[in-house]
Structure 1
């Protein structure tokens, strides 16, 4: 293990940053000076937040030559502040070599901020991270918090790995399918294409409730009107949570900026209300009907 400083002299940090910036401006900076890079990484333990940021940005502009020093600090530095800053700086550099170390920090570092920053760096790496993130989601070994970060990272990657994500919609893991639906929802927002929307519509019939609910929410947020018949069908699902999700989705689509014929949504909602016995679902159905009727009245006065 590398020896690290335990305290940072602010004056030393100031002088080092000034020297490095001058050298970079004059194009005399030596990116292969490992000792200098190590000192810069150490200075990300400075007590001043702006100074830490300045060193992180400078190391980020140096790029891949700084990766080894940052990885060493991420893996072994006793100061979590330095480990956090190292992970964040690796996000700026986006060097694929960092993937194994980032994954290790994401899964096993004791500091939650280091974990989150490492997840962000993995997300920035894009498609190479996808198989590892999917493995985390499918494994029973990891916490819900860790899986939440993995799902967020997949959604961030989104269209950069859409073919890989599309394939995983049939995964045996419920956690993977739910996370993939969230990622596909982002793809549908960024690059509206029928393939993405078709996968979301198909997910409304998934065997897992969490996946159905995630898909209904995604279609609602996209105000995807072709999904209305499928959401109407979901209004009659055996699970009241799924019926509630369908009602919320139909409400959101029904009051979207350019709504369909209101009767297309209102009539199925009213019919479902007449048949519904679950109090929570009835409440949502009543809200959906009132909001759509209100929007309909506004349209008539425009």
Structure 2
């Protein structure tokens, strides 16, 4: 870790913010003044949350010249509070050139909140982050928590990830395909994309039951009615978890034509499937399924 600029005390911090605010209001603030920018970055470690937020927002508005200092703080600052805030501030600036640094923080920082800040910023970078996120998901040495972060970011990116999804859903990696299901579902919800909808339905026939289950769950969450016959087919899947998820999702869709198939599932060999089929029937009959 590098040696840091001395931390200002609260009175000095408040005075600095007043001075910066006055300069910005008068249009006299010098965005090239590295000394002041470094002091502002140090103030991201203030013990007061609202103060940190004001400095983060101001640095975010400055952007450009503040970005290298924020990247340096994210990667090297001794204070995790500053590293956390630096990641959150980079999310406000949205500079795709920071993706490698954010990725390094996600994969290597020992602080879980810093990791969260980094992946939040990666999500805001949009398409620029997608290849790196898919690489994380495909890497067998990465932890489940790291892959969970990457999957969340990929889903958040949504429509901007579209150019990558058709290849990703064919990946040899189960984790990549599972995460891609979520991103495809977001695309269907955001854009009503017909090709994305078809890909989502096709994943119900994926060779891996985890992917099929993920698809059934995503369809239920978005209450995608055109998937009804596909979910009915999934209710007879060889895998019990897929059948269980299909029953839950049919309940969420709320279509009465599913009831006979759910009634047949009351004889399923697995108790969880029987229980959830009964619950789905109850939801459909009461009319609450598609109102959730």
User: Common fold, TM-score beyond 0.5?
Assistant: yes
Structure 2 equivalent of residue 300 of structure 1: none
Structure 1: runs of 5 or more not aligned: 297-302
- Taking the TM superposition and a 5 Å limit, the aligned residue runs for 1:1-302 are 2-5=2-5, 7-254=7-254, 259=255, 262=256, 264-274=257-267, 276-295=268-287
Give the TM-score taking structure 2 as reference length: 0.95
Question: Runs ≥4 in structure 1, deviation > 4 angstroms?
Answer: none
Aligned equivalents of 2:104 and 2:170: distance in 1? 27
- SS of the counterpart of 2:5? coil
For this pair of structures, how many residues does the alignment match?
A: 288
Q: Deviations over 1:230-264 (max 9, x none)?
A: 1111111111111111111111112xxxx4xx2x2
Q: Note if contact 1:166-1:184 (Cα within 8 Å) is conserved in structure 2.
A: no
Give the superposition deviation at 1:293. Answer: 2.4
CA RMSD between the two structures = 1.4
Give the superposition deviation at 1:101. Answer: 0.9
Aligned equivalents of 1:6 and 1:122: distance in 2? 29
Q: Deviations over 1:204-230 (max 9, x none)?
A: 111222211111111112222221211
- SS of the counterpart of 1:170? coil
Aligned equivalents of 1:240 and 1:222: distance in 2? 22
Q: Note if contact 1:177-1:211 (Cα within 8 Å) is conserved in structure 2.
A: yes
Aligned equivalents of 2:44 and 2:227: distance in 1? 50
Q: Deviations over 1:22-74 (max 9, x none)?
A: 11111111111111111110111111111111111111111121001111111
Structure of greater Rg? 1
- SS of the counterpart of 1:237? coil
Aligned equivalents of 2:145 and 2:65: distance in 1? 33
- SS of the counterpart of 1:23? helix
Aligned equivalents of 1:271 and 1:286: distance in 2? 10
Aligned equivalents of 1:3 and 1:271: distance in 2? 68
